[in-house]
Amino acid sequence: MALVDVSRIPKHVAIIMDGNGRWAQARSKPRTAGHERGADAVRATMRAARRLGIPALTLYAFSEQNWDRPEAEINALVDLLCECLVTERNELLDNEIRLSAIGRLHKLPKHAQSRLRALSAETEACEGMTLTLALSYGGREELIDAARALASAARDGEIEPDEIDEAAIDRFLPSMDLGPVDLLIRTGGEQRISNFLLWGSAYAELYFTDELWPDFDAISLYSAVRDYQGRERRFGLVPGVDEDATVRKGPHKLERAI
Ligand code: IPE
Ligand code: IPE
Ligand code: MG
């Protein structure tokens, strides 16, 4: 942690938590054992992110495509989610962490939806960090939903087609509520996006590690953040432009201290 520059902390870190199955397989355990250990890694990462002062952490917990996995694994993942929404309540409240979720949440079983809603409501006033769980989430699906909503708004005369610009699309994407992704981490050795935050990751710094998700911890997060801090973000501009100018001309024209 000593080597992390606290003045250049990424505002939005997103993680593709991959490798639970392989972690379990390497130990001759069922895949679900990997998911269980993965939940411990979530807790450790959440705490570390909060300690670093990262304002937004988005975790890819279950993809839209993961519904095609064996039913027993899906059920185990949903049960684990429900259990964590109970066991982590105090962890969130004590650390001032607000819970949020993105994805086609209506596809989750009703009891999971209501637990998610309840804990999100309970932590709504927490301002230390926002933890967003991407559940039944797909980047393409999110864009499809936004396109449908925009088309309806245009049909109803609420927006003119030529008013549809970057900012308008941002407004229709729940994943953009916390701004674009600064640092996108993927564990498990694969170097792909797997339908995660497609729009918001347009200028994200990508960090791939071979570490399997259940082994990821605070030190792993610090390493990723340190690596990020060594990158030059240019947003299509030329090197050597002063950082403030890069920030002003960045794709989202936000006041961003990178
Ligand atoms: C990530 O680990 C967790 C989910 C996708 C739910 P995997 O279950 O994909 O683990 P591997 O990639 O098979 O090792
Ligand atoms: C991405 O991992 C989804 C989550 C981490 C929730 P997958 O294991 O599902 O992705 P692929 O199959 O390697 O692309
Ligand atoms: Mg995987």
For the chain, what is the mean pLDDT? 94
Active site residues: 18, 66
141-168 pLDDT, tens digit per residue, is 999 999 999 999 999 999 999 999 999 9
73-95 pLDDT, tens digit per residue, is 999 999 999 999 999 999 999 99
Kindly state if the Cβ of 214 falls inside 6 Å of ligand 1. no
Compute the distance from residue 194 Cα to the ligand 3 centre, in Å. Answer: 9
Token pair in block for residue 66: 């993961």
Kindly state if the Cβ of 59 falls inside 6 Å of ligand 1. no
Q: Which residues surround ligand 3, an ion (CB under 5 A)?
A: 18
Q: Note the pLDDT of residue 56.
A: 98
Atom of ligand 1 nearest to the CA of 212: 14
Averages of pLDDT over runs of 10 residues in the chain (258 residues) are: 87 99 98 98 98 98 98 98 98 98 98 98 98 98 98 98 97 98 98 98 98 98 98 93 49 41
- Position 178, amino acid: L
Compute the distance from residue 63 Cα to the ligand 3 centre, in Å. Answer: 10
Please identify which residue in the block is written with the tokens 């392989």: 22
Compute the distance from residue 62 Cα to the ligand 2 centre, in Å. Answer: 8
CA of 212: how far to CAs of 14, 24, 34, 35, 245, in Å?
Answer: 16, 10, 10, 11, 38
Ligand lying closest to the C-alpha of residue 19: 1
Strand-strand pairing, 12-16 and 183-186: parallel
* SS3 per-residue string spanning 205-258: EEEECCCCHHHCCHHHHHHHHHHHHCCCCCCCCCCCCCHHHHHHHCCCCCCCCC
- Domains, the chain, ranges and CATH? 6-256 (3.40.1180.10)
